[in-house]
Amino acid sequence: MAENKTKPTSVEVTEFIESVDHAGRREDAKVLDALFRRVTGEEPQIWGPSMIGYGTYHYKYDSGREGDFLRTGFSPCKAKHSVYLMGGYCEDVTAKRNEELLAKLGKHSRGKSCLYINKLADINLNVLEELVRVNWDAMNRVYPPV
Over its length of 146 residues, how does the chain's per-residue pLDDT go in tens digits?
A: 566 778 999 999 999 999 999 999 999 999 999 999 999 999 999 999 999 999 999 988 888 888 899 999 999 988 899 999 999 888 899 999 999 999 999 999 998 889 999 999 999 999 999 999 999 999 999 999 87
- The answer to whether position 4 is within a domain reads no
Residue 42 included in any domain:
yes
Question: CA angle, 146 as apex, 46 and 39 as ends, to 5°?
Answer: 55
H or E element in which residue 139 lies: helix 125-142
Q: What pTM did the predictor assign?
A: 0.93
Q: What contacts 140, CB < 8 A, 6 or more positions away?
A: 71
Beta strands in 33-139 (DSSP E): 45-47, 51-60, 66-76, 81-85, 109-110, 114-117
CATH number, domain of 137, equals 3.90.1150.200
- Give the residue numbers spanning the domain of 81: 13-141
| 8, part of any domain | no
Count of structural domains within the chain = 1
Does any domain span residue 7? no
Q: Confirm if 76 and 126 have CB atoms less than 8 A apart.
A: no
Instruction: Determine, yes or no, domain membership for 2.
Output: no
Q: How many residues does the chain have?
A: 146
Distance CA 65, CA 62 (A): 7
Residue 123: inside a domain: yes
Query: Would you say residue 68 lies in a domain?
Result: yes
